[in-house]
């Protein structure tokens, strides 16, 4: 069930109609089921769906053919065949729903097709009508819904497995966690060795915040774990002796090789998305170079003395940029907190006696992603990653997207990469039975609550 903040179930249909917005196509999301067959999903495709426009008291379930009028992610606006231009009985459905079938399904499985009662008398010969109507039309592939679920089941990370995940209370370190639940490739993790009972963290299976057991040991990342686990990593990594419930390197996406084989050096300056305030791109420094091209990045001017807010980005991460990126793209760069007057990279580099990371070190690949400003999506609030919320792409800068949460202040916005597994097509939550936070609405006559700023205030945690 999808609940909005008012406790009601959020319904995309009327919201899309009232906002007149479009939605990003399922083909934009490489981490969701059926993304690779979405080119065939065009307006006018026909499906077989339950016919709900029937006399009350009928006990057999009957079906009818409907046309896809509009497609919004997985959500579709449908019209029963025979209604012509009459939109009075149009209805919404989800292409991943168990109730949506290819044309021919009823015939194959002996289900009954019966015209809606509103138009029953419109044609004398419905069979002839359908035959005429169906010639030359397209339908969806058979067993659409079960194929989607098979695809989800093919993933290797399963409930009960152990893996390493960023410590949400101290992002410069990793911890050991166990997978408690998998919903549509999103993992509900419990930190192991936690004093709290339900010390949870949520992320997608291909999130860059999780790694196989032994990863911290392999790359030299800080790890908050029991002595036993730390010693066990030695044999896991060196002898490749993994336990039956260990998540292993083959279960994770491979990182690219850095371009030109060049590498970042400690002290180099760059621009980076602030991992603790994703609405800001900040002046940053390479604080440490780990093995396998991982970097610890610090945000200039707000770094904790003990390095507890350094954050690990891979050298090919799309969330780090060369000096000047914001200026070239007309984006606001967040300068170090102590900056007086306008920030100038040239002066800053001279004053700090530092060097800009060479542009050549950055991956400049921009995939053809298909996202455009104004498109609706379902997006994870990465500061509270159990929440998936109704959101809009408000800016597209190369491969970078600015995600705005509908109804929330702009300081909740997030910069994320177009290939991020934390954004989903409209209708994904419904299809996966994941909860969805509707747009934030303020009750009328209620004084507007003070804006809770999500600006990083020396915090080192994701809630």
Please, where are the H alpha helices in 247-340?
Answer: 325-328
Name the minimum Å distance from CB 457 to ligand MLZ.
13
| HSE, side-chain direction, 13 A CA sphere, residue 211 | 25
Of the two residues 152 and 387, which places its CB atom closer to ligand MLZ in the complex? 387
Return phi, psi of residue 307, to 5°.
Answer: 75, 15
Q: Quote the CA–CA distance of 123 and 450 in Å, as a whole number.
A: 60
Name the minimum Å distance from CB 428 to ligand MLZ.
16
Residue 92, beta-bridge partner list: 77
Binding characters for ligand MLZ, 380-419, by CB under 6 A (x = yes): -x--x--x-x---------------x--x---x-------
Q: Please, which of residues 414-453 interact with ligand MLZ by CB under 6 A?
A: 452
Name the minimum Å distance from CB 77 to ligand MLZ.
26
Name the minimum Å distance from CB 207 to ligand MLZ.
18
Name the minimum Å distance from CB 169 to ligand MLZ.
17
Q: Are the C-beta atoms of 324 and 333 separated by less than 8 Å? A: no
Of the two residues 219 and 387, which places its CB atom closer to ligand MLZ in the complex? 387
The sign of the torsion formed by the CA atoms of 324, 421, 201, 6 equals positive
| Most distant CA pair in the chain, distance | 86
Of the two residues 210 and 382, which places its CB atom closer to ligand MLZ in the complex? 382
Q: What angle do CA 365, 367, 371 make, to 5 degrees?
A: 135
Of the two residues 274 and 300, which places its CB atom closer to ligand MLZ in the complex? 274
Of residues 404, 408, 399, the one with CA closest to residue 440? 408
Tell me the site size for ligand MLZ, rule CB under 6 A. Answer: 8
Of the two residues 53 and 381, which places its CB atom closer to ligand MLZ in the complex? 381
Name the minimum Å distance from CB 463 to ligand MLZ.
8
Q: Mark 379-413 as b/e (b = at least 16 C-beta within 10 Å).
A: bbbbbebebbbbbbbebbbbbbbbbbbbbbeeebb
One DSSP character per residue, 290-309 reads -GGGEEEEEETT---TT-TT
Q: Please, which of residues 263-282 interact with ligand MLZ by CB under 6 A?
A: none
Position closest to ligand MLZ via CB: 405
Of the two residues 162 and 412, which places its CB atom closer to ligand MLZ in the complex? 412
β-strands 423-424, 162-166 pairing: unpaired
Q: Does 21 bind ligand MLZ (CB under 6 A)?
A: no
Of the two residues 307 and 407, which places its CB atom closer to ligand MLZ in the complex? 407
Positions that interact with ligand MLZ (CB under 6 A):
381, 384, 387, 389, 405, 408, 412, 452
């Amino acid at each position: 069930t999808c609940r909005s903040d008012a406790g009601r179930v959020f319904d995309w249909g009327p919201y899309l109609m009232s906002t007149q917005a479009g939605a990003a196509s399922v083909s934009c999301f490489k981490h969701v089921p059926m993304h690779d067959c979405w080119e065939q999903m065009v307006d006018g495709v026909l499906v077989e769906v339950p016919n709900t426009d029937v006399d009350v008291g009928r006990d057999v379930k009957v079906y009818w053919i409907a046309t896809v009028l509009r497609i919004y992610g997985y959500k579709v606006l449908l019209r029963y065949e025979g209604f012509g231009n009459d939109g009075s009985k149009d209805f919404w459905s989800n292409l991943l729903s168990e109730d949506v079938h290819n044309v021919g399904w009823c015939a194959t499985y002996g289900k009954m097709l019966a015209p809606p009662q509103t138009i029953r008398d419109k044609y004398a010969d419905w069979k002839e009508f359908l035959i005429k109507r169906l010639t030359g039309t397209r339908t969806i592939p058979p067993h659409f819904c079960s194929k989607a679920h098979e695809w989800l089941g093919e993933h290797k990370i399963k409930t009960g497995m152990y893996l390493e995940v960023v410590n949400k209370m101290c992002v410069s370190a990793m911890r050991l966690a166990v997978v408690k639940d998998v919903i549509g490739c999103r993992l509900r993790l419990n930190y192991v060795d936690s004093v709290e009972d339900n010390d949870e963290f949520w992320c997608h299976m291909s999130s860059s915040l999780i790694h196989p057991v032994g990863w911290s040991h392999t790359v030299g990342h800080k790890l908050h774990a029991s002595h036993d686990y730390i010693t066990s990593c030695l044999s896991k990594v060196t002898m490749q002796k993994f336990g039956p419930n260990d998540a292993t390197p083959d279960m994770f996406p491979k990182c690219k090789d850095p371009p030109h084989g060049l590498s970042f050096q400690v002290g180099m300056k760059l621009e980076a998305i602030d991992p603790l305030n994703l609405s800001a791109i900040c002046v940053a420094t390479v604080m440490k170079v780990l093995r396998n091209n991982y970097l610890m990045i610090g945000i200039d001017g707000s770094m904790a003395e003990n390095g507890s807010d350094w954050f690990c980005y891979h050298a090919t991460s799309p969330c780090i940029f060369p000096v000047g990126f914001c200026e070239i793209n007309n984006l606001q760069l967040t300068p170090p907190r102590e900056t007086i007057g306008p920030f100038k990279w040239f002066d800053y580099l001279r004053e700090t006696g530092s060097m800009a990371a060479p542009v050549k070190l950055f991956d400049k690949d921009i995939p053809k992603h298909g996202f455009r400003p104004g498109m609706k999506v379902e997006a994870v609030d990465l500061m509270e990653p159990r929440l998936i919320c109704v959101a809009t792409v408000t800016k597209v800068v190369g491969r970078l997207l600015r995600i705005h949460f509908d109804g929330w202040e702009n300081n909740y916005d997030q910069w994320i990469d177009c290939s991020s597994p934390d954004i989903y097509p409209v209708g994904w939550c419904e299809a996966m039975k994941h909860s969805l936070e509707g747009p934030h609405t303020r009750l009328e006559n209620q004084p507007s609550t003070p804006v809770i700023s999500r600006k990083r205030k020396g915090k080192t945690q994701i809630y």
